[in-house]
Amino acid sequence: MTLSLLFFVLIGAISLAAAVGVVSSRHPVHSALFLLSHFVTLAVLYVTLEAQFLAAIQVIIYAGGIVILILFVIMLIGSEKIEAQAEHRSWTPYVGMALGIVLLGGLVISLMQGFTGIDANASLVQGGDPVVVGYELFTQYILPFELAAVLLLVALLGALLLARHPAKLKTESK
């Protein structure tokens, strides 16, 4: 086993442990910090795969922007409300398990289809060249890109609405 492979396996194990910490942590702030460490280890994995542009984007957008947005929402809403709501929902682990199985099935199907052949553009996108990634993102994947932007906007507006009237929410829950 070479030193680079050992480093890759070690960083991958840390990344996997951080991902498990995101899901298993009971405190929302701890989950957000585990998510931050997961994103940083993914950026390190991108650097080991010689995709420096993807590593920089991972740190700037996900670790810098998304995690800060999540922490902002947690602080606006208050982690006590989130923990209190989580205790009343006994069905959420089952829904999460079902969605995880669906995701795993989709991943297996996608991997099985991927072994039939390699797309001609895959060699261009592999290194994370900014021009090629930008072209693919804004031509072939423009709809998912815009849907992700709308989803983030709706999540931010929902968080602001939940944090806007805390006294009104307390009277409605009684």
Q: Domain residue spans in the chain?
A: 1-88
In the numeric block, which tokens belong to residue 68? 């800060």
The architecture of the domain spanning 1-88 is Up-down Bundle (1.20)
Dihedral, CA atoms, 130, 136, 138, 144, nearest 10 degrees? -120
pLDDT at 74: 81
* pLDDT, average across residues 142-159: 81
Distances (CA, A) of 91 to 82, 86, 87, 96: 16, 10, 10, 9
> pLDDT at residue 37 above 70?
yes
Looking at per-residue pLDDT, the higher value among 121 and 159 belongs to: 159
Looking at per-residue pLDDT, the higher value among 39 and 159 belongs to: 39
> pLDDT at residue 160 above 80?
no
Rounded-to-integer distance, Cα 127 and Cα 41, Å:
18
Contact in structure between 53 and 129 (CB atoms under 8 Å) = yes
* pLDDT, average across residues 106-113: 75
Rounded-to-integer distance, Cα 85 and Cα 79, Å:
10
Contact in structure between 29 and 16 (CB atoms under 8 Å) = no
- The answer to which of 2-11, 37-46, 82-91 has the lowest mean pLDDT is 82-91
CA 140, 142, 145, 148 torsion-angle sign: negative
In the numeric block, which tokens belong to residue 135? 């072209």
Q: Is the pTM above the cut of 0.75?
A: no
